[in-house]
């Protein structure tokens, strides 16, 4: 099943009930600004503020290079400062959260063709076009370049089962970056679930999801998405060899069954519904002591997205209130954030939120 613009509309409408609307670019899907932001973060679909380089937050809100490590990649943080936070993006690009958006799939064979399509569209509009989010359908590529779209489908499907989800996951240089992961914690340790991890940085901007507190055990899953091939075995085996994950999933739009009994499968049925088939063998690769270290790191990792609800000035003040000195290195930042409880951070967010953004 090759996902073109027509199938794209059907899949999102069937699974998430997004409203179908007509535009001068073709059929699109009307969504609220938070849904659009989440969609753009995962897929790279761009807000049409510029025909040559539509803006997307995809990839700019990362925190660390790899798991079990606290070295910052330039993203949410730049050395000791908060940089690419949703709050800062909101201040720089007011259109991101100011009104509903329309996600529109656009098919093209070359970048030049795409730019002409978008430039012609912009020139005919009497209003700014930033509220259009462009999903690229790259016909020159095998699978139309739709692997990030499959990542989005996997994230949205899994998060509804009380998981925190993430795409393009920091793991390690030798093992690679999984396309997808899901983290479910016993609510005693982590009082959040059913969100994309970066959504925890959107609290200040008004995004709220109700958490279903659960006594279920900690569970971590991983996945790989493909459109141009059905072979994901080698990548999944690498991820499982970390001994962190309870389950691994192949993500493909038309694959019928997983390659191995230890793999699950996320795919689409004939009615375009997302179907999840769990692996027949689970926990085969888990070593409790290694998974425990990964869990501890993840519990800290979450705190960095929560801290991203603060402005940099608020963060610096928070640090100085607690430590009675100035920040001198990224090590100071890491030590400070890791020492905080979730309640500490949420209390601070509530405190600074009076006065709005």
The per-residue pLDDT for range 256-278, each reduced to its tens digit, is 999 999 999 999 999 999 999 99
The per-residue pLDDT for 356 is 54
CA distance 70 to 297: 9
In this prediction the pTM is 0.95
266-322 tens-digit pLDDT = 999 999 999 999 999 888 999 999 999 999 999 999 999 999 999 999 999 999 999
Please determine, for residue 98, whether its predicted confidence score (pLDDT) is greater than 70: yes
**Per-residue pLDDT, 188:** 72
pLDDT digits (tens, 9 = 90+) for 21-67: 999 999 999 999 999 999 999 999 999 998 889 999 999 999 999 99
Cα 250 from Cα 254, distance rounded (Å)? 11
Nearest to 225 by CA among 139, 140, 155, 175: 155
Write down the mean pLDDT value for the chain.
94
What's residue 213's pLDDT?
67
First-residue to last-residue Cα distance in the chain: 44
Read off the pLDDT band of 355 (50, 70, 90): low
Smallest CA-to-CA distance from 81 within 302, 308, 307, 312 is with 312
The CA–CA distances, whole Å, from 56 to 59, 68, 216 equal: 8, 28, 35
Q: With a cut of 90, say whether residue 209 has pLDDT above it.
A: no
């Amino acid at each position: 099943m090759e996902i073109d613009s027509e199938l794209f509309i059907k899949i999102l409408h069937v699974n998430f009930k997004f409203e179908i609307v007509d535009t001068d670019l073709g059929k699109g899907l009307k969504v609220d600004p938070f849904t659009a932001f989440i969609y753009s973060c995962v897929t790279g679909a761009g807000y049409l503020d510029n025909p040559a380089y539509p803006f997307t937050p995809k990839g700019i809100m990362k925190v660390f290079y790899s798991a079990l490590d606290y070295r910052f990649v330039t993203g949410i943080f730049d050395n000791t400062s908060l940089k690419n936070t949703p709050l800062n993006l909101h201040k720089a690009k007011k259109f991101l959260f100011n009104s509903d958006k329309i996600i529109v799939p656009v098919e093209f064979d070359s970048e030049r063709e795409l730019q002409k399509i978008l430039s012609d569209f912009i020139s005919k509009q009497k209003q700014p076009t930033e509220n259009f989010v462009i999903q690229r359908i790259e016909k020159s590529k095998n699978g139309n370049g739709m692997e990030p779209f499959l990542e989005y489908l996997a994230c949205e499907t899994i998060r509804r089962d009380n998981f925190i989800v993430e795409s393009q996951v920091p793991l390690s240089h030798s093992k690679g970056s999984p396309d997808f992961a899901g983290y479910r914690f016993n609510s005693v340790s982590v009082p959040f679930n059913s969100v994309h991890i970066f959504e925890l940085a959107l609290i200040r901007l008004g995004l709220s999801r109700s958490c279903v507190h659960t006594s279920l055990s900690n569970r971590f899953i991983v996945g790989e998405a493909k459109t141009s091939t059905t072979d994901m075995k080698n990548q999944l085996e690498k991820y499982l060899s970390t001994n962190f994950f309870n389950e691994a999933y192949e993500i493909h739009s038309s694959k019928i069954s997983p390659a191995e009994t230890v793999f699950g499968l996320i795919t689409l049925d004939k009615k375009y519904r997302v179907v999840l088939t769990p692996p027949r063998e689970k926990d085969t690769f888990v070593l409790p002591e290694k998974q425990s270290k990964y869990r501890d790191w993840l519990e800290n990792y979450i705190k960095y997205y929560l801290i991203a609800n603060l402005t940099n000035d608020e963060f610096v003040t928070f640090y100085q209130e607690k430590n009675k000195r100035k920040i001198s290195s990224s090590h100071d930042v890491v030590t400070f954030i890791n020492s905080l409880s979730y309640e500490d951070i949420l209390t601070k967010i509530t405190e600074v939120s009076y006065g709005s953004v």
